[in-house]
Homo-oligomer: A and B are copies of this chain.
């Protein structure tokens, strides 16, 4: 295969990282979900940037308003995983010249919607002409150094848990991409998961604030990939005995002869939090989540061995370390 299509996104990132001089005394590891710089002894400024590209990230059926909202939400989701409240956002736009005035309005409305939904404001940005629609969002927030949750803090024996049910987004994406028809009973839930993703900000803030998390990541590249990243950063493995599946995803998988577990593990574009908690803090963690109207579901345990295993129907299978990746899936 020619060009970077053969390399894959993670290898591309690795090559770039190798050519960057590392900042001394950085308060947060390179390669985690956000970047941070120390303001004073106890406080960090936290920065995140993430780009939405029309061709790969905006499925047919998603309006420009929804796409612009999503460009903000996917950044907020990383802040949620780290326990950081977003304060201000900048939007850099690459706009194809065939967009019209109404389209530009929709983008403005969507950006504002995504930011205000999570208490942030869009305060600036940049506009350019490009072939693809590009919406790049950058977020800034502040947090106590003591509450920022890394990927690398999970230890063997920790409980691994998630904030919601999996499988709806990949099912919804399949419906949009392959023009599938499903029963109206489940269609709305599956499409809403794609078109109106929600970041688990309030859950992430409450859990981080209560200091019950040892590690955290969002599931935007798929549950399997999130576990793989936590595994690499923390030096642990996982034994998973429950993958919480949305009933709509199960019904969809049955109708189309798909394995619902594959949808849930390898789908991506779902913005749940995947967290680890010390067993003695589990009760408190569940209560904290309930306190903000959410539910933390235990899906397994961190292990000494580095493998990620799934116990299902009395069988133990290896969870593949794969997920959504640019330059590979296209």
Contacts and interface: CB of A to CB of B under 8 A. Distances in A.
Interface of A: 2-5, 7, 9, 12-13, 15-23, 26, 30, 34-35, 37, 39, 45, 47-51, 53, 55-57, 87-88, 90-95, 97-101, 103-105, 107-109, 111-112, 116, 121-132, 134, 136, 138, 140, 142, 326-327, 330
Given A13-B125, A47-B90, 11 more contacts: A2-B98, A39-B39, A39-B45, A47-B88, A49-B136, A53-B94, A97-B327, A126-B136, A130-B131, A130-B134, A132-B132
A100 B4 contact: yes
Among A2, A53, A107, residue most surrounded by chain B Cβ atoms (within 10 Å): A53
A54 to B, nearest CB: 9
A138 B47 contact: yes
Contacts of A326: 127-129
Contact of A30 (B9, B108, B124): B124
B136 A4 contact: no
Contact of A35 (B12, B23, B112, B123): B123
Contact of A92 (B30, B49, B142): B49
30 contacts: A4-B95, A7-B104, A12-B127, A13-B125, A16-B93, A16-B105, A17-B108, A19-B112, A20-B112, A35-B88, A35-B124, A37-B123, A39-B39, A45-B142, A47-B90, A49-B124, A50-B92, A50-B126, A51-B134, A53-B129, A53-B130, A55-B129, A55-B131, A56-B128, A97-B330, A127-B326, A130-B134, A131-B131, A134-B134, A138-B138
A55 to B, nearest CB: 7
Nearest to A120: B23
Contacts of A126: 49-51, 136
A138 to B, nearest CB: 4
Secondary structure class of chain A's binding surface, majority of residues? mixed
- Counting every copy of the chain, the complex holds 2
B99 A21 contact: no
Contact of A12 (B16, B21, B95): B95
Contact of A9 (B15, B37, B127, B130): B127
Among A91, A100, A123, residue most surrounded by chain B Cβ atoms (within 10 Å): A123
Contacts of A19: 105, 108-109, 111-112
Given A35-B123, A108-B20, A45 B140 contact: yes
A311 to B, nearest CB: 34
